[in-house]
Structure 1
Amino acid sequence: MQSIKRLILLSILSLTVVLSGCSDPYIAQIQGQTPVTEQRIAQLGDALANGQVRNANLINQYAAKVLELKPDLQPLIAEFKKDASIQGPMYLALLDRVNTVKNQPQMFADNKAIYQELMNIYQAADPVLYSDALSDPLNVLADMSDGALPRINSQNKAQSLIDNNAQDFGVGSQLVGNPSYGQWQTNSSGMSFWAWYGMYSMMGNMFGGNRIYYDSWGRNRGYSYYNDYGRSRYTSPSNLRKQNQVETRTRKSFASKGQKFTSTYNKNRSGSSGLSKQSQNAQKTASKFRSNSSSKFSNKSKFASKSKYSKKPRFRKKRKSFISRGFRRRR
């Protein structure tokens, strides 16, 4: 009798698991969106290779000009030229993120978080949005030219600092906070500072920049595309979690001194110029992203494997993409 009851109980539990999987609409959405997102990244790669992404083309032009002006910066300039190709850190980050979805689904809190990550990657790979995002490294090259080249999709440096009552953190400040170029590290005193990856450290070494601390940067930063428009699209859940940890640690440090620290992302800085409608729409969703993003990523998985969506994917109709054109230059 006991064995019969046990068999019935196991049957009920098995049926519950099966029905639970069938009732989750995100499983089918993940199956359909994964190949679509991969295709979008491949299309972006083709657009970069064929010279169809405007700011990527300008990066090559600006790099050539800065090399003429400052040949001693050749290693750093060569690193920035990669941004105009599929070897750039932003493009490689998109590939890494989609591979995480496919091979490490246990890194996400639930199926909804997986699907939202796929959609974020898909939107980030839009050549128009991607061109806008490239305005940050492009404008670093502009600043390296000491005024010989204008900033693109952005106010000039002096006006941007005035309008935002911002501190000048030196050449490359547009890239601070962007996980494609560096990361926040914490010293023995518990203070977080920006550490550049590899060759990008030349910006601090050669332009006399002081170490950039999170508490100062967070309160006094100027405009950048990534921090004011692109963060919701160009940040992986794992990097977002790290950013939130740095901010939480800084807020607690201020609170222990009876002070208040307001999130650096609480208010968008002004300074953009001629950005696409895609970027404008991305900024409109930023507040929703800020309120929900911290709960999307979890180290403790609810998934032991990727078996829930390892079935043959259902392909969606190919979506049309558009290439960036017609941006205005402003000094």
Structure 2
Amino acid sequence: MAVMLMRVLALTLVFALAGCGDDRPEKIAKFQQLAQARVDTLGQMLDNGEVRNANLLKQYADILASTKPDVAPLLQELSKDASSQGPMYASLKRRLQELGNESNFVDLDQQLDEAENLYQAADPSLYNDMLSDPVNVVADMSGGALARVNAISREADILANGGEDFGAGSQLVGNPAYGSWQTGSNGMSFWAWYGMYSMFSNLVRGPIYYDRWSSRRNYSYYNDVGRYRYTSPKQARTQNQTFERTKKQFNRQGKQFDSPYAKSRSGSTSLSRQSASTPKASTTGRATGGSKFRSNYSKNSNFRNSSSRTTRSVRRGK
């Protein structure tokens, strides 16, 4: 009887241990499949004109190009984000490819976090909020003729945050989809635009240096809300390296240097509930582990256009 009881207990223990196996690879595979489907759906929605801020971006770019033909090539490049051909969407596709290679991650926890982040980043409501940055870039380039979306005015932004006006395109500075921090011969890091976005350099007085931008920047969706979802682990490491390098330079001079993300800037308005529940930008790159599946997707969510939104004028004051 005792022998039989021992066998039963042994079998129970074996099954219990089997049930306690590492389920992270299975979760990663699940999120990868879901993220792929959601990214594909998002691309179709962008190309079909079903994302509100994407439509607004295209409208704004067309309006401004007709009055400022000298910046038409730059506006055309910015308007690519209104489709599946833009750098933000391309970044999601690239991260999906990288997700399938575990060597891109320090451990399974980081890979699982990235899998969930990708799934959330492709949420049309969240992506619609993300597009407020390029929309507001074009709005600011209009000199106030076109209204900002999901953000307070340029003047109120500077006043609220005690920041500096870094000129056209400032909402995109720090976003790895549009440029990167490069180190000059003087050892200081400055923002270098990718491709056609380098035209922004012609619209401002001089280079945007990392140290000054870090302490004087104003609000942008990416830097203050979306960075956690829209930054890959590799990109987060690069950002942290720039911070650590600058911090060491300041320390050698007996000065303190804080991360540009240590303090969130105020300025957002009317963001989706998905954005409201996004982890803070300052936590980007930290592997949390134990990710839980949370679906925020709804076909009836407010990212789709309503007739009242698409027919109203996009010009300020009308």
TM over 0.5: yes
Which residue pairs with 2:112 in the alignment? 115
Quick one: which of 235, 239, 249 aligns to 2:231?
235
Q: Amino acid of the residue matched to residue 135 of structure 1?
A: S
Change (3 A) 1:288 1:26: farther
SS of structure 1 residue aligned to 2:277 = helix
Count of aligned pairs:
287
Paired position in structure 2 for 1:4: none
Deviation for aligned residue 1:295: 5.8
- List aligned pairs for 1:208-227, cutoff 5 A: 208-227=204-223
Q: Deviations over 1:8-61 (max 9, x none)?
A: xxxxxxxxxxx99x9221011112221111001011111112211110000011
Pick one of 76, 79, 85 that aligns with 2:77. Answer: 79
State the 1:209 CA deviation.
Answer: 3.1
CA contact (8 A) 1:164 1:269 kept: yes
Is residue 2:303 matched to residue 1:324?
yes
- Aligned counterparts, 1:62-211, within 5 A: 62-102=60-100, 104-205=101-202, 207-211=203-207
Identity score, percent: 48
The residue type equivalent to 1:229 in the other structure is V
**TM-score, normalized by length of structure 1?**
0.82
Q: Quick one: higher RCO (CA 8 Å, sep 6+), 1 or 2? A: 1
SS at match of 1:178: coil
Query: Whole-Å Cα distance in 1 between the matches of residues 267 and 52 of structure 2?
Result: 20
Q: Which amino acid aligns with 1:231?
A: R
- Residue range with higher mean Cα deviation, 187-196 or 173-182: 187-196
How far did residue 294 of structure 1 move?
A: 4.6
SS of 1:177 mapped into structure 2: coil
Relative distance call for 1:54 and 1:319 in structure 2 (3 A) is closer
Distance in 1 between residues matched to 2:243 and 2:79, nearest whole Å: 32
The Cα of 1:188 is off from its aligned counterpart by 2.0
Q: Which runs of 5+ in 2 are unaligned?
A: 1-16, 289-294
Unaligned runs of 5+ in 1: 1-18, 297-316
What do the CA deviations read for 1:200-251 (whole angstroms, capped 9, x no partner)?
Answer: 110111x133100100000000000000000000001111000000001111
Structure 1 vs Structure 2 CA RMSD: 2.4
Q: Counterpart amino acid of 1:106?
A: S
Aligned 8 A contact 2:113 2:287 in 1: no
1:244 paired to 2:240: yes
Could you say what secondary structure the match of 1:109 adopts?
Answer: coil
TM-score, normalised via structure 2 length: 0.85
Report the CA distance shift for 1:247/1:295 in structure 2 as closer, same or farther (over 3 A). Answer: farther
Q: For residues 108 and 235 of structure 2, what CA distance do their matches in structure 1 show? A: 19
Per-residue deviation, 1:262? 1.2
